[in-house]
Copies of this chain bind each other. A is one copy, B any other.
């Protein structure tokens, strides 16, 4: 029998995460509720991950009508479906071999969908995007994995290091371990709204040299979990730093449509790079990621995203292509959804009004939730939150007492994991503990997803508030 010591050591380094302890308990609690075991709440609410439709956000009608028609083309004759739905389905089916969604798509994704994406980027940035630089994958995380696979190599002090923000959502850190990369943490400055600071990037880089070979800089903008949206000036600084240090930039921009602050605007790394002109625009290597799971689509279950790769050496690009081709193509329903996301119904088209209204309604719900959580937190002792300018998360800081810390130590749990487990147990609310997303030593947080219907958020806030007040009373 294959023994544990015989498996790939990189896989063995992957540890059971703190959140999995919570997740397992959440699963158990759901079962207990089904079995009729009495709880002080009727149902569990899980805001630990970004899963909008799982939380009750409804999918966009146009997306689903197009998908249904593509999958079951008899609907093409159903007059109750808007004309632009049927036209879109017809066009997209025409782009599938054999006229069917069930045929293998081209390796980098359906050609015309890649063209739609590149036209979207060109409109967004005001600079041309080359469809040949775009690869459609089974989600942005899958694309990130493949880029890491391409870039990561070596052992010991030659092992590729990846500068990674702290805090950062957990699956990225897991992916680094799985690919055998060294995570080089750089700390976002919580006190200054979670900004990226160049001196901190420099500190992290210099501290890492000698231990590993830092070659890659990973940024998330808008931030997850931070909720920060980078200014154009900040992006320029980051690009200059990466250029000076010869780093490959991985820009996770999956929340680009979710920017809420009045004074905030999304600037893509590609756009800023292009505006900076040569040598940056011609030399800086950048991969930017986007996804149908995030933003207003929230189609996490369809598993699709894309990456645009800029300024890669053609020989490296060739191997990127080879690597992507081995990892099979992205699911076609997701590709159809990408087409809609990057080319939504336009004014004058039959589905425009409903589409715009549904997007606005989701946007309003998230903005309302942002305001509500900030309001509630500002009234709570022992809890603070930086402004939330974008993304779909609130990352709340817990200011825990010495008594609470001592109790956590006795229980051998990270203090925010203890807090989260108690919160789950007592109120049925499941959040992500900060220890899972990494944080500055001595600080404690919880992350809450804000892409929920407004009434759900009220329920979330009530549970959080009542628990928090009890908790700080218990550990004064």
Chain A interface (Cβ < 8 Å from any Cβ of B): 1-4, 6-12, 14-16, 49, 51-59, 64-65, 67-69, 71-72, 75, 96-98, 100-105, 138-139, 141-142, 145, 149-153, 171, 174-175, 178, 215, 248, 283, 285, 298-304, 311-313, 315-316, 318-319, 322-323, 325-334
Cβ-defined contact, A322 with B104, below 8 A: no
Question: Across chains A and B, which 6 residue pairs bring their CB atoms closest together, nearest first?
Answer: A54-B103, A301-B332, A68-B72, A53-B102, A54-B97, A68-B68
Copy tally for this chain in the complex stands at: 2
The distance from the CB of A331 to the nearest CB of chain B, in whole angstroms, is: 4
CA distance A55 to B142 in the complex (A): 28
On whether A298 and B150 interact (CB within 8 A), knowing A67-B72, A248-B2, A313-B3, the answer reads no
Nearest B residue (CB) for A298: B102
| Contact between chains at B53 and A326 (CB < 8 Å) | no
Since A2-B248, A8-B151, A303-B332 are in contact, a sample of 13 more A-B pairs with Cβ atoms closer than 8 Å, ordered by chain A residue number, is A2-B151, A7-B153, A10-B153, A51-B103, A53-B100, A55-B98, A56-B98, A68-B75, A71-B71, A104-B300, A145-B327, A171-B328, A302-B333
Per the bound structure, the CA–CA distance linking A69 and B68 in Å amounts to 7
> Which residues from chain B contact A7 at a C-beta distance below 8 Å?
150-151, 153, 316, 319
With A and B bound together, what is the CA distance between A267 and B7 in angstroms? Answer: 29
Q: How many angstroms from the CA of A87 to the CA of B448 in the assembled complex?
A: 35
Q: B residues within 8 A CB of A103?
A: 51, 53-54, 300-301
User: CB-nearest residue of chain B relative to A335?
Assistant: B301
Q: Given contacts A2-B316, A300-B104, A301-B105, are A64 and B54 in contact (CB under 8 A)?
A: no
B153–A9 touching, CB < 8 Å: yes
> Distance (Å) between the CB of A158 and the closest chain B CB?
11
Docked complex Cα distance between A330 and B56 (Å): 21
- A145, A215, A325, most chain B CB atoms within 10 A: A325
Which residues from B are CB-within-8-Å of A71?
64, 67-68, 71, 333
- How far, in Å, is A94 (CB) from chain B's closest CB? 13
Residues from chain B with Cβ under 8 Å of A298 in the complex: 102
* Nearest CB of chain B from residue A470's CB, rounded to whole Å: 28
Chain B residues within 8 Å of A54, by CB: 96-98, 100, 103-104
